[in-house]
Amino acid sequence: MAAQQTARSHSYWRLRIFSGMYIGYVTYYLTRKSFTFAMPSMIAELGYSKADLGILASGLYLSYGASKLVSGIMSDKFSSRIIMSLGLILTGLANVLFGMASEIMTLTALWSLNGFFQGFGFAPIAKQLTYWFPSAQRGRWWTIISSANNVGGALAPILVSTILVFGSWRIAMTSIGYLAIGMGILVALTIRDSPETLGLSSVKEKKFKANSEESTKAPSLKEAIFNRPILLLAIAYFCVYVVRSGLNDWVALYLHQSKGLPFSFATRSVGWFEFGGFIGSIMSGWVSDHYFGGKRIPLMIGATTILFFTISWFTYTDVDDPWTLAALVGICGTGIFVPQALIGLASAEYVDKRVAGTAYGFTGGVSYMGAAASGYPLGYVIDTWGWDGFFLCMGIATLCILISLAPLYFSQQGEPKTAATAPV
């Protein structure tokens, strides 16, 4: 009877905590992408160029990348619940203030500050998943919560475009900001740090033979970051975010300017990118758990290969049919979100779970250096060499993902390792 009660308590808290984290991260993504879909209205009202507004995107990505490592270390040492909820409240406040500003320097500073608080979102989630879900189930849960990116990304254009029908980009930004503040309070009330804080037992992990010194020795920051698999994953993640952020930020404008689609249809096409990404994120964890024995690399290489040929189709064929273009955008979403979802999980699985947040924070921080390259640099490329130059950059970045992942293809990865790389 006691065992059944304990099991019910575990199930209740897992569902409650997972739901709170999912809703919270959807809201994080709304406050991150709100600017993207307000951009055309901002250009019309304020008169800034694409390169000018690209500076804002780069500022967010740079500060977000730096924050990921900081929040990863913090989440391993302090309360994940407080870090995640506080970050959501502060990112909401940054959106509200952004909607009240006009000067490019003020807008850049506020959006960079927003990026820093954005980094308080997923590193606490990475830690929570390793404490609340056993490794045998973690792949599917990790990728399910990764789909919050796509849900938030799909909701953002719907919410912003709907508000723009009845109001201005300022109203859109402030409304989403106030929503985030409310959701941050809800997250603080919903989630808890670990089973032990509620008097419950820790999750059961698969048992392996291990040297007792290796099992009990606290892993160091150096051991969590500076090893070959983590460094290769970080390089691949950098390139993933060049492609993901580049397509997400610029493809609506490309479809409108180059293909002549109405802007409303072009904006909704980004929803296809997120829908394809949702499918890729959800399926990647389950497929890698059940068909690849927990190995993430082979599936990532396959999805990236499909992405490369889809980007080539964009570049070298003259496709004008709106629905064909929307379908291609959706395939790109599926292709890029498989490695986007799995690299973070692979990073956490290559290290001791006591430093899972740090390892994820490091690779995630490097990834957003790549996202920063999709802001001003890509805006400059488009202004200078047009959309052909943009898609050439996307193709080169995709090839770099494949080159970085290839050395890890036969690596024995799937269970959490100690800092000394021995199984625990």
Domain boundaries, the chain: 2-194+219-408
- Looking at residue 392, its pLDDT comes to 92
Does residue 51 register a pLDDT over 80? no
> How confident is the model over 97-136, as pLDDT tens digits?
998 888 888 988 999 999 899 888 887 887 788 788 776 6
pTM assigned to the model: 0.70
Q: Is the pLDDT of residue 418 over 70?
A: no
pLDDT tens per residue across span 175-216: 999 999 999 999 999 888 778 777 777 665 544 333 334 445
Look at 97-101, 278-282, 298-302 and tell me which has the smallest mean pLDDT.
278-282
Mean pLDDT within 332-353: 84
Q: Over the chain, what is the mean pLDDT?
A: 81
Q: First vs last Cα of the chain: how many Å apart?
A: 31
pLDDT at 180: 94
pLDDT value of residue 209: 35
Q: Is the pLDDT of residue 163 over 90?
A: no
C-alpha count within 13 angstroms, C-beta hemisphere, residue 393: 25
Question: Out of 1.10.4080.10, 1.10.10.10, 1.10.275.30, 1.20.1250.20, which CATH number does the structure's domain 2-194+219-408 have?
Answer: 1.20.1250.20
